[in-house]
Amino acid sequence: MENTTWACFDCHETYRRSTANDEIVPCAKCNKHCMNIGFEINIPKKNDTKSWDKLYIKLKKQERDRNEASIKESVRLKHDIEQNELRLDIIESSKDNKTALKTINKQLKKRAYTGENKPNK
């Protein structure tokens, strides 16, 4: 199992631990939970408070960006699923493939102009 670096931002201590099982790594000095800082190689010197603060802000921003990207991705997936459901509805309710394709193309054109996502019934 790979080891990553865990840091206590109160004590400016780091520990190398396995990343298995999302374990909690307590700081040996203050017993607070350490933050997994992955493979960060620029660990500041203990008394360099400014750099520790900067590192903390940087890691929190990365975490925020990852969360935002993940939310955007799940919204996109939801839209994909809705569109595929709509297409399946059209295919099921059409008398043949040609009619179905025509209706789907019409829906796509309409959506391009209005951003509309619901079938036109």
- The residue among 10 and 82 lying less far from Zn ion, judged by its C-beta, is 10
Minimum distance from residue 44 beta carbon to Zn ion (Å): 15
Q: Which value, in Å, is the radius of gyration of the alpha carbons in the chain?
A: 25
Based on the shown chain and the rule CB under 5 A, indicate whether residue 11 belongs to the binding site for Zn ion.
Answer: yes
Q: In the chain, where does DSSP find H-type helix?
A: 49-93, 97-114
Based on the shown chain and the rule CB under 5 A, indicate whether residue 46 belongs to the binding site for Zn ion.
Answer: no
Of 14, 64, 52, residue with least CA distance to 36? 14
Query: How many residues belong to the site for Zn ion (CB under 5 A)?
Result: 6
Q: Are 100 and 94 in contact (CB under 8 A)?
A: yes
CA distance 36 to 14: 9
Based on the shown chain and the rule CB under 5 A, indicate whether residue 29 belongs to the binding site for Zn ion.
Answer: yes
Choose one: 2-10, 45-53, 65-73, 109-117; the region binding Zn ion (CB under 5 A): 2-10
Based on the shown chain and the rule CB under 5 A, indicate whether residue 54 belongs to the binding site for Zn ion.
Answer: no
Q: Are 43 and 7 in contact (CB under 8 A)?
A: yes
Based on the shown chain and the rule CB under 5 A, indicate whether residue 30 belongs to the binding site for Zn ion.
Answer: yes
- The residue among 53 and 80 lying less far from Zn ion, judged by its C-beta, is 53
Structure tokens that stand for 79 in this block: 């839209």
Choose one: 9-17, 56-64, 97-105, 108-116; the region binding Zn ion (CB under 5 A): 9-17
Total residue length of the chain:
121
The residue ranges that bind Zn ion (CB under 5 A) are 8, 10-11, 27, 29-30
